Amino acid sequence: MNDKTTRGRASKVDLLPPNIKTQLAMMLRDKQFSQAEILQEINDLIRDCGLPDEMQLSKTGLNRYASRMEKVGAKIRQAREVAEIWTKQFGEMPQSDIGKTVIELVKHLAFEMSSRFAEEGIAEPKELAMLAVTVQRLEAAANLSYERERKIRKEVIEQAAKAVEEAGKQSGANMEDVTKMVKAVYGIE
């Protein structure tokens, strides 16, 4: 057997016009159609569009594509279930914590994808570029979130320090004690 990693050739399904490919995907998702009915309908569409007979799908080709799509669909359903569970579990968490969790999840998924690409040798340069851009955007979003959080904390501390100072002045407290309280709010010794 040849262990040489190649890009592989495009399947007949990959070469279909977008409208037929969309119809195929819709029929596969709708569980009311058998594969025989889907094959007949898609091949009729191929014929009606005036495409050559070589573009007609075979039973095995359709089955391979349907199996591949079912695997992808199962992973998407699983990711949705995990997201739903996390949303229920972390529903009480502040928005920023949920955002951080989602960013970490997507980073993990990106790592898994890149590992799979490396193992199977199926990565296209376009896919790798999109993955790199995704990770870059996630990092930028994490940095933006961190900076926003830091700014909010600073504003809250400043407001607390002003409130302590005002309360101290109004109550006639010793200014040295007020200064100590303000420094405590700022975390200064």
- One-letter amino acid of 50: G
Greater model confidence, 130 or 41: 41
96-100, 113-117, 155-159: the lowest-pLDDT one:
96-100
Q: Please state the domain extents for the chain.
A: 9-89
Contact at 8 Å (CB) between 171 and 181? no
Compare 56 and 105 and report the one with higher pLDDT: 56
Residue 40 predicted with pLDDT over 90: yes
What is the sign of the dihedral through the CA atoms of 153, 159, 165 and 167?
negative
pLDDT band at 59 (very low <50, low <70, confident <90, very high): very high
Distance linking the first and last C-alpha atoms of the chain: 72
Q: d(Cα 130, Cα 94) in Å, to the nearest integer?
A: 30
Q: How far apart are CA 74 and CA 79, in angstroms?
A: 9
Q: Among 1-15, 59-73, 128-142, 168-182, which is the least confidently predicted range?
A: 1-15
Question: How would DSSP label each residue in 80-101?
Answer: HHHHHHHHHHTTTS-HHHHHHH
Band (pLDDT 50/70/90 cuts) for residue 101 is low
- In angstroms, the Cα distances linking 73 to 22, 69, 80 are 15, 6, 10
- Give residue 44's pLDDT: 92
8-state DSSP, 8: -
Quote the pLDDT of residue 97: 58
Statement: residue 38 has pLDDT above 80: yes
The model's pTM = 0.43
What pLDDT does 93 receive? 47
Q: What is the reported pLDDT for 98?
A: 58
